Copies of this chain bind each other. A is one copy, B any other.
């Protein structure tokens, strides 16, 4: 095994420049699931790549949305591993904050700057190259199933249908591996043993066809005020989430979970993360941070938009307001719990008539 590892390292070092260019080639392809830009091209490219370079039988499956690259490589081994990954990325706006264009894949120092370089097209192509190298210098010791979806950033709407469709083949696998390489501290790779679920919800209030001159505001409903009220009942700005209907049901952290806390603290130091994002002051720190972030359900405002906040002033009562929320789930919480709890809250506040709740993903 040690011998194999050094052979792999040797091969990687030998082909270093070429491997980096392979990764950059994928990063240069836009694949924004929100707008659909470049999705088809990227899916086809990956299908061909896996087929030609690894020899797997590949196909594109669609279930009403963007294609899933599906591939199988049967080497007659006892064990089977599913390599799950995603080839889509988030929107690139605001563009002016980019140090380099998001699909140039510019090399700056020892990093590649690109939308998806980290999450997760960089990891995806690196792991595919890893499989190819292994197959060349030795052999792949397990049967492989490739599942690369293009809708992860939309909440994976096609995945349940895919799993149902291919359940008989998928259930034979012994392990599902999602290559999302992270080495926040050199030499301490992050291995995530599970993931939180997510429910993404849009709330919308529309009170008029056009914006109204603000001199009439006192006789009108203000749509931003309607959603702000709901927001203030979901999140206390200082105390954090106010989601008793989820907190009560939530299980964990368990004794076993807590045993891993020290590992998490060492492999994913909060300080490093906060400095990466330029957080001025976190709401929590120390052990509180780790327990809250890794083991508790959450509610977050992802976006809030109403009226005008551009140059100059515009004195209006806006026609509408939009708020986007994501809830992240922990064991024992189902998407329905989130939705029901939110509907109940809006009703309790007397705002059901004014607010439209649209569950975008769960």
Contacts and interface: CB of A to CB of B under 8 A. Distances in A.
A300 B314 contact: no
A120 to B, nearest CB: 12
Given A208-B279, A216-B273, A312 B153 contact: yes
Contacts of A312: 32-35, 90-91, 153-154
A191 interface: no
A31 to B, nearest CB: 12
A136 interface: no
A44 interface: no
Interface stretch (A5-13, A45-53, A256-264, A291-299): A291-299
Interface in A3-35: 32-35
Number of copies: 2
Interface residues of A, number: 98
A240 interface: yes
A283 B91 CA distance: 37
B301 A304 contact: no
A204 to B, nearest CB: 10
Contact of A307 (B200, B301, B309): B301
Q: Top 5 A-B pairs ranked by shortest CB distance? A: A34-B312, A209-B278, A303-B307, A228-B231, A217-B300
